Amino acid sequence: MVNVDLMARHLPALKRVSFRAVLAATGMAVLTGIAGSPASANPAAATAPEAKAVAQAFAAPATEAAAVQAKAVAAAPAAKPATKAPAIKQAQQSAKAPSRQQLMPAPVAEYQETFQPTAEQKHNAEVIIETGQKMGLPPRAWVIAVATAAQESTLRNLGHLGDMNDHDSLGLFQQRPSSGWGTPAEITDPVYSSKAFYNGLKNVEGYDKMALTDAAQTVQVSAFPDHYAKWEKLAANLVLAKYGQGPYAA
Q: Is the pLDDT of residue 188 over 90?
A: yes
Look over the chain and give the mean of its residue pLDDT values, rounded to a whole number. Answer: 76
DSSP 170: B
**Helices 16-26 and 48-75, interaxial angle, to 10°?**
40
Q: Is the pLDDT of residue 205 over 60?
A: yes
Share of the chain above pLDDT 90, in %: 54
Share of the chain above pLDDT 70, in %: 59
DSSP three-state, residue 53: helix
Give the span between the Cα atoms of 204 and 228, in whole angstroms.
Answer: 16
Give pLDDT tens digits for 124-166: 999 999 999 999 999 999 999 999 999 999 999 998 766 656 6
Helix, strand, coil tally for the chain in percent (to 5): 60, 0, 40
Contact 212, 227 (CB under 8 A): no
Give pLDDT tens digits for 36-92: 434 344 444 444 444 444 444 444 444 555 555 555 545 555 554 454 455 555 554
Distance set, CA 11 to CA 3, 8, 26 (Å): 13, 5, 17
Give the span between the Cα atoms of 83 and 89, in whole angstroms.
Answer: 10
